[in-house]
Structure 1
Amino acid sequence: MPERRYRILFVASHPVQYQAPLFRRMAKQSSLDLHVAYCTLRGAEAGHDPEFGASIQWDVPLLDGYSWTHVLNRGSGAESFFGLFNPSLWKLIRSGNYDAVVSYVGYVRASFWVALAAAKLSNAAFIFGTDAVSLAPRDQRAWKSKAKKFLWPRLFRLADQVIVPSASGVDLMRSLGIPQERVTLTPFVVDNDWWMQQSKLVDRPAVRAGWGAAPDTLVILFSAKLQPWKRPLDLLRAFAKANLSNAILVFAGAGPLLPQLESEAASLGVAYRVRFLGFLNQTQLPAVYTAADLLVLPSEFEPFGVVVNEAMCCGCAVIVSDRVGAGRDLVAPLCPELIYPFGNTDALAAILQRAHASPMWLSGLASASRKQMETRGPQENVTATVDSVQTAVTRIRRICTAAIAIVPPTHPGVSPEPKKR
């Protein structure tokens, strides 16, 4: 019997460097007939990224190797409900004869609701999820947490299958009352092969020399947007407290905190040991991770943190705060001591001191990090995504079959017998 082939539409806000390799892999799956609908082309085309505070265009191919459509955005393009409003999704889904629609657009955008309504009326399975690991919002406003506690159980019951990228995300869905069989873990991944291959091409001593780092210098890296919730100032202050005799701190990223970081580095007396690289495009990052010894992600709000995957692929050990979702999935299995309480700069400084004093320990962690990524790559995500589609479509077909079975047959030209009084 031939393998069942599912016709799937993915709805995405814009091309993303992490998703494109997954779409390419899924396009090669014999069980999937895949198409992607983009609500904007930001990222593939130059466009303003409000969090970087700059115009960004990624320098890796984002639209090759799979079928896609740009659906015209009638919205404002702002970070608001009607920032993404793509009414043409309605016709695309209603006429597309899809078995499932997978939305990577969040419920806070109008286009999500267009896709949801069209999929439900077309008897297509509707699959969506969240990267959240708790109800706490990034801005810490209490009313939002209360609203989510009331609304999210109802929201996620609209999904024929919920997809989440982390173990903590699975726990969150279960706490909201979503049954285990309705939740699929589709792990956050990067294109491991690409990162590892690029890392092998890096002239590590030359990159480090460009930063003024000797072979035995401890290079500590921050790779993220310089935004308040990423807490780069925590790392800078911990670095100063650690008072390491032979170490430098490298910031790779752009954002509004840059002037404050530069000023504070000077006031702490460590400016001569701090490097600011600015925004780095995708092809520039493997060299940075490969040349560094240790990545630190001190975020206050970080549902996952895919930079952890990137760094580990390049053989870089990682420290994270306990607010980083990747800590549980990727860091704890190697060394739980590399996870510290958010905001505790003394605890972070102590880990930096240990790393500085124990280069062999750090080298072992780097090797273990790279090894771990061999079993957490794109194929694991693709397999889980296909499983979520199969599960959701099977459930929808079973419901439709049951509904048909309970509807009494009708015959043309024959009126039903009137009820007796």
Structure 2
Amino acid sequence: MTKKLAIISTHPIQYYAPVFQLLAKRMNIKVFYTAGNSSLKKYDIGFKQKIEWDIPLLEGYEYEFLENSAKNKGSHHFNGIINPNAISKLKNFHPDAILIYGWAYKSHLKIIRYFKNKIPVYFRGDSTLLNQKSDLKNLLRSLFLTWVYKHVDAAFYVGTANKAYFKKYGLKDEQLIFAPHSIDNKRFGEIKNKEALKLREQFSINDEDILILFAGKLEPIKNPELLLSAFKKLDSTNLHLLFVGNGKIEKSLKEQAMNNGQLSMNIHFLNFQNQTQMPAIYQACDLFCLPSNSETWGLAINEAMASGKAILASNKVGCAVDLVKAKNGRIFKHGDLMDLTQKLIALTQDKYELKKMGENSLKYIKNWGFEEQVNAIVKYVNR
């Protein structure tokens, strides 16, 4: 018999909505959005603008926006989500189990604690130990997290680094179910030759030239400045670098890209691009680079791989250990300009080799789709 599953999430997210749509075809689900704002147009602190995704996020599944009574509303801090009627709304749905995305909000933690030992409480998050420090603050956090996860019956982990995190804080192997972090592989794999060619022509990038892409928030933690510094050391006329996105260090990044008062001929910028535009942008590049100092996963790498591209990522990117292999890219030491520069040089010697790496990326990512994630959830919940 199919069980009823209540899902708790902060707000509609472009990477989660397709999962809910697929789950709704196979289970009786209802998604409860806790941030309390029914508007899909949400101010994104990282991009420094209001974002309204251009793919459907509220179609194909049952959902409800819960009242959020927090004074300073938002999913960026613990006290930003307080739902006075969350428990009663969930009880009215009569779920057989609850799947909750993230604990670090007052209301989410309250829900986890209330339903413990009443119905199964399942958890989904992508935290890692990649940036963990050995100090008193971390010891106290470790004790707290161990207490939090004692209230969880099972967790759907996204990859290797995430599994290690859950195990450190007390979850056993039998409580951990692999449900891969995913994007819409089909949409990013659809050939966009005309759009990709138009983008390259826009920046005067020839067919034989190599385009390196960074796509994401222009903020210190993603470290696009390191990529810019490494690129400038390459000093090759057939190499181009494109930054797609906006953020707090955008102005500084553009100033660093200047050469004698003008933007370098081989360094390009595009403002934030929406979801339907991104496949063509990935397909226009030859190499995707994510140089982050900290990244719990890095779904942009999934997107680039589904678009058939070679990958260069720092060792602080959560997905690197799972997705970046010798046959489809390289991993460099985070913050290390010399290591990044050397790997950029090695990867950009031969465009044909980059193409082969991209083909391998496409093969690898086929097993990291929404279907695999949904299959894992349905199988475990209905067991």
Q: TM-score range by the shorter chain?
A: over 0.9
Match of 1:320 among 313, 324, 334: 313
State yes or no: 1:6 paired with 2:3: yes
Give yes or no for the alignment of 1:49 onto 2:44: yes
Structure 2: how far apart are the matches of 1:187 and 1:277?
Answer: 30
- Aligned residue in 2 for 1:119: 115
**2:186 matches 1:189:** no
Question: Residue type matched to 1:71 in 2?
Answer: L
- Tell me, yes or no, if the aligned pair for 1:262 and 1:271 is still in contact at 8 Å: no
Deviates more, 1:225-234 or 1:77-86: 77-86
The percentage of aligned residue pairs carrying the same residue is 28
- Could you give the per-residue CA deviations for residues 311-368 of structure 1, whole angstroms, max 9, x where no partner exists? 1111111100000011111112744x60011111111112221222111211100111
Letter in 1 for 2:208: D
Matched, 1:294 2:287: yes
* TM-score normalized with structure 2 length: 0.93
Mapped pair 1:18 → 2:10: no
Q: Which residue of 2 aligns with 1:281?
A: 274
Secondary structure class of the residue paired with 1:310: helix
Work out the CA distance in 1 between the residues paired with 2:46 and 2:38. Answer: 13
Provide the rounded CA distance (Å) in 1 between the counterparts of 2:157 and 2:88: 28
Structure showing the higher helix proportion among its residues: 1
Q: Is the 8 A contact 1:316 1:366 kept in 2?
A: yes
Alignment of 1:327-342 (within 5 A): 327-332=320-325, 334-335=327-328, 338-342=330-334
Matched to 1:92, the amino acid is K
| 8 Å contact kept, 2:97–2:122 | yes
> Residue 163 of structure 1 aligns to a residue in which SS?
strand
Contact 1:230 1:299 in 2 (8 A): yes
Distance 2:284 2:144 in 1: 46
> Is contact 2:226-2:291 (8 Å) kept?
yes
State the TM-score, normalized to the length of structure 1: 0.85
Give, in whole Å, the separation in 2 of the partners of 1:377 and 1:47. 26
Cα separation, partners in 2 of 1:119 and 1:327, compared to 1, 3 Å? same
- Counterpart of 2:162 in structure 1 is 169
| Aligned-residue RMSD, C-alpha | 2.1
**Structure 1 residues 272 and 306, CA gap change in structure 2 (3 angstroms):** same
Q: Which amino acid aligns with 1:136?
A: N
The answer for unaligned runs of 5 or more in structure 2 is: none
Q: Which of structures 1 and 2 has the bigger CA Rg?
A: 1
Q: How does 1:232-311 map to 2 (within 5 A)?
A: 232-266=224-258, 271-311=264-304
SS at structure 2 position matched to 1:357: coil
User: For the residues of structure 1 that align with 2:348 and 2:112, how far apart are their CA atoms?
Assistant: 52
Partner residue of 1:147?
A: 140
Of the three residues 218, 225, 229, the one matched with 2:217 is 225
SS of aligned partner of 2:83: coil
Q: Tell me which amino acid in the other structure corresponds to 1:183.
A: L
Distance (Å, rounded) in 1 between the aligned partners of 2:38 and 2:264? 33
1:171 shift after superposition: 1.8
Note if 1:357 corresponds to 2:349: yes
